[in-house]
Each structure stands twice: as structure tokens, then as C-alpha cells.
């Protein structure tokens, strides 16, 4: 079974600064996807970024980027120029490469943005 570990229950960052959220995972599969989801107080899950395991290039979406280290099974999220609207729970998630499997989530990191 796959596991996803987020070791930072809470992180705090000053507005406009950069913050990195950590995630490690364990799997014996070679084909899989990794995700970062944001869950604001509304509880609606919002996809932040996705990384295909077969791609060496790190995914980037505007201010959000990942550092994907496949050998180390590490998948961190970097948020640049943090904004107040970034405050939320962030979940790292894993999905097998078949496409029709559910997600395995980490425990989440509560991100606080200090104005």
C-alpha cells in the first residue's frame, strides 16, 4: 500500500515571502501521479499542481512549483510571493498511474500567512 507523509502540521510565512511544504511518499509502483490540493475554510478541494512520475521536469503553476525527487520519494511544494488567499490546509496526494484509482492523502499542513 502507498503512504503519504506530511511532517509539518503547521507552517507560517510572512506575506510576499516564500514557503516550502514537505511531502514524502512510499510506493513500489513506477507509474503514478502526485498532487498538491488546497482546502480553504470552505472545505472545497482545489487542485494546486500535479506531477507525473515519468516526467523529470518539475511542474510549475504560476507562483506554485514542486521539487520532485523521485529517487528520494520526495515531493515538496514551493509557494512564492505568498498571499493572504493562500492561507489554507494543503494536502499532498498520491494516485496510481492506472488512472481510475482513488487518492491517498497525507495528513495535511495548515499554512498561515502573516500580513
Partner 1 sequence: GAVVSQHPSRVICKSGTSVKIECRSLDFQATTMFWYRQFPKQSLMLMATSNEGSKATYEQGVEKDKFLINHASLTLSTLTVTSAHPEDSSFYICSALGGLAGVSYEQYFGPGTRLTVT
The residue (of 11 and 45) whose beta carbon lies closer to partner 1 is 45
* Distance, CA of 90 to CA of 78 (rounded, Å): 12
Part of the chain binding partner 1 (CB under 8 A), chosen from 11-19, 69-77, 78-86, 94-102: 94-102
Complex with partner 1: residue 81 or 101, whichever CB lies closer:
101
CA 16/CA 13 separation, integer angstroms: 8
Question: Which residues share a beta bridge with 52?
Answer: 33
Q: ∠ CA 83-65-78 to the nearest 5 degrees?
A: 55
CB of 115 to partner 1, least distance (A): 24
Task: List residues binding partner 1 (CB under 8 A).
Answer: 42-45, 47, 52, 91, 95, 99-108
Amino acid at each position: 500500500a502507498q503512504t503519504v507523509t506530511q511532517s509539518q502540521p503547521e507552517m507560517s510565512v510572512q506575506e510576499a515571502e516564500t514557503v516550502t511544504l514537505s511531502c514524502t511518499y512510499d510506493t513500489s509502483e513506477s507509474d503514478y501521479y502526485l498532487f498538491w490540493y488546497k482546502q480553504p475554510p470552505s472545505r472545497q478541494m482545489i487542485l494546486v499542481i500535479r506531477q507525473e512520475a515519468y516526467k523529470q521536469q518539475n511542474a510549475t503553476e504560476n507562483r506554485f512549483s514542486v521539487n520532485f525527487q523521485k529517487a528520494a520519494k520526495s515531493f515538496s511544494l514551493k509557494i512564492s510571493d505568498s498571499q493572504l488567499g493562500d492561507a489554507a490546509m494543503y494536502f499532498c496526494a498520491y494516485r496510481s498511474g492506472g488512472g481510475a484509482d482513488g487518492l491517498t492523502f497525507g495528513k495535511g499542513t495548515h499554512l498561515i500567512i502573516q500580513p
